[in-house]
Amino acid sequence: MAVSTIAQSLTKAEIREAVVRLFEMARQSKGEQYDPDRFLAFFTGSPAPTGRRVADTFGGRRRFVRFLEAVQLEFGVCFSNEDRDRGFTMEEFVQCIETKIAKPGEVHRLAQKRLQEARVSLVDEPVKFGLLTIPLLIAAVALHPNGLRVALGLLWVGVTGTVLVVNARGYKYAQRLIERTDNGAG
């Protein structure tokens, strides 16, 4: 059965249950109480003191992104940048998912846009970082100690390779998201 067909048959309670399950998997302090009116603030061990958004830390953002990616794959939906920046209550988030499930064509177009952006980044970002770090290669050629040459060369390869790997991961995720949204695009 197609993802969209399955998702469209879910009740609000079933969506909420799945969201809570994914939320618990992504958060740092699993099983602890949280305020449903500002649940996104509870991804980190100590929640953001005010507001409905995740704490602006590397860990908080990483957990938030992991959560959104899991929700997108679970329901075959795609969140816009505005959705990602919005502070939802639990009920508003469930309603947002319901709205997206009801509009599979719109969701699929957004997922296609994400795939195109990921495809461009897969080439552009490593080239950009490779060019920005070219002084490391120039220094490696200009310097006489071979050990330093090798170290700078490896640093350049490491930086450029890391950027490539990160962008490849984003591209693979975008492909999986397209597969999940393809079923309801009609």
pLDDT digits (tens, 9 = 90+) for 30-71: 888 888 888 888 888 777 777 767 777 788 888 889 999 999
Q: How confident is the model at residue 183 (pLDDT cuts 50, 70, 90)?
A: low
DSSP conformation letters of the chain: --HHHHHHT--HHHHHHHHHHHHHHHSSSTT----GGGGGGGSSSS--SSSSSPPSSHHHHHHHHHHHHHHHHHHT----HHHHHS---HHHHHHHHHHHHT-HHHHHHHHHHHHHHHHHHHHHHHHHHHHHTHHHHHHHHH---HHHHHHHHHHHHHHHHHHHHHHHHHHHHHHHHHHHHHHHH-
* Residue-wise pLDDT tens digits, 1-10: 345 555 668 8
Which carries the bigger pLDDT value, residue 184 or residue 164?
A: 164
Q: Whole-prediction pTM value?
A: 0.80
